[in-house]
Structure 1
Amino acid sequence: MKQPTRCSAKTAHFTRIEKVLEFIHEHLFLTLSLDDLAQKSCWSRWQLQRVFTAETGVNVAQYIREIKLSRAAEQLLDNSSERVLDVALSFGFNSEVSFSRAFKQFFGCSPRDYRKRGIRTGLRQPITSASNHDQERTDLQSIPHFTHIRIEHKDAFALAGHHGEISGLFSDQPDFQQSVPRIWREFELLKTSSHPVDEPPLRPIRYGVIDTLTIGADHLTYWAAEAVSEQTYGSLPSIVIPKQEYAVLPHRGPIEGLKPKLEWFFTCWLPQSGYSGVDGFELEIYSENYQLDSEDAYMEYWLPIE
């Protein structure tokens, strides 16, 4: 008989959160109250708020609002002849005014302007449970965690950097956990040698770029790069990333924890999402002063989709 593990208590409350999420996703047309959700979870209102926020990174009311508005935005684009009022009512808003006010607060534009632009961006996807695939493991890596994917649009932009060859996640002999840091170190050396004497006042946004258009036998081209600006390092090669729609996977913590999340992202989330992956440039976008071994490190993986 398998002995209980130290994860079992946490797994139980993960299951409760999953049930709350399932209820929310199936009843977005209702005006969902915290009292109703607390009753479904068998927690008090305070307990539900505390556990939900701790495990998902967002409070219950905020999550419901973001998912309702994201689904409404998709409906505005998919059904161009449907009245804004009807979209508002179908997601539990009691008037077009209240819907438009909430919509503008979240997306920064009115529902009509969003529809006119015709671009899917800022869309929060339903939170799903991402767990390690090896169900027999009992260490902390096997504890399920909740991941909030979003859909974003990015216009074309240019980067300057240094590139090299890597074996990616699904290669026969993946080496990206060793080769990617090496390419970044080489980039830093090249940047230092070609950098102006005066340091730029702000550090440019840093990007890792996986070029899936140059697939070899078992290799990919990887770029360590920064956004092109007035401080662009003139002797470094550049690359232009075309406009694209992306699914965005957030990751907080040491970089070694990214690998199982990527496996789940590609093999579980994407096939069930309704979107399709496309060949192009996959992006890693790093926060300022990113430290790959830090518990507070934050980065995002941007997967091109259609």
Structure 2
Amino acid sequence: MTTKPSAQVSRAEYARRINRVLNYIDAHLDQPLDGAQLADIANFSRFHFHRIFATWMGETLGSYAQRRRLEKAAFRLSCGSHETVLETALATGFHSGEAFARAFKLKFGCTPSTWRSTTLQRLKMQASAIGQQPGNQESNPDQVFSNIHQEGEPALGESDVSYRLTETCAMDVRIIDLPKARVAYHRLIGPYGPAIGEFWRGTIAPWMHSNGLSDETCYGIGHDDPSLTPANKCRYDACVEVPAHFVASGQVDILALPGGRYAVASFKGKAKVLGNAWIWLTREWMPSSGLQCDDRPCFEMFSATTALDPHTGEFSCDICIPVRAL
């Protein structure tokens, strides 16, 4: 006799399948996306997949893919690389510069070239203003780098307490090769900020303990830039390294973090200034390093057992940025 799955188990399975599709889309934004193939990845009916996706995500498959392409393009343009606007367009799935420019202006209200020039100028001004607030969340295109463990604190914004960028400028940055890692991940979709700390405490830590994973390495991955992506659609993955024989269940799924060359900086301090460490790395260190960020995920890597000092309240982690030659 077949037991009918509970609503909670059923929703967890839906979430896991949709997350696989979202991961695939992000890894293939430069290619045409086939709905039938995506349905197969999710193991859903090809006939019903588009309706299932739209119901779950609150936007159609086509709208989601277009939004992600434009958000990725805006991020690339703001990173100060030497690629042309056409190269950015092709790298994010647009077949011509004209089509890209029209779609970009419709979403962001300006041309890609204007976005790049005004963004870089603003970042230079912000980075040089030592002691000034790092930027408004509504307009800061690299706010993606300050999205984790601001426990009990709001996201960076004009009303927040200012912290001098020089507080994090003493970090040593190593260029090292990191091995590929097999991780189990739980995904949180919603605004970055205090909810992420609560997610780790209330969901991830108990799950790690019940699965005998409390001593394993943890990774925090913020996939979206909240200055580009609607807050209620931002994706954050809480990841825990797992052995080859580990079998995921429920909403948890398995993914492989790619290895390779990374810039790694060791952070130790109050969690609420971790965002400033990211800002210093991307605005100050990266432009003078002869390197640029590539398309692999950035993440924070830490040990759950030693990351938080109970006496000082300081958080320790390695900030890892995938890099390639400029």
| Common fold: TM-score over 0.5 | no
TM-score of the aligned structures, taking structure 1 as reference length: 0.45
Greater C-alpha radius of gyration:
1
TM-score of the aligned structures, taking structure 2 as reference length: 0.42
Question: Using CA pairs below 8 Å that are at least 6 residues apart, which structure has the higher relative contact order?
Answer: 2
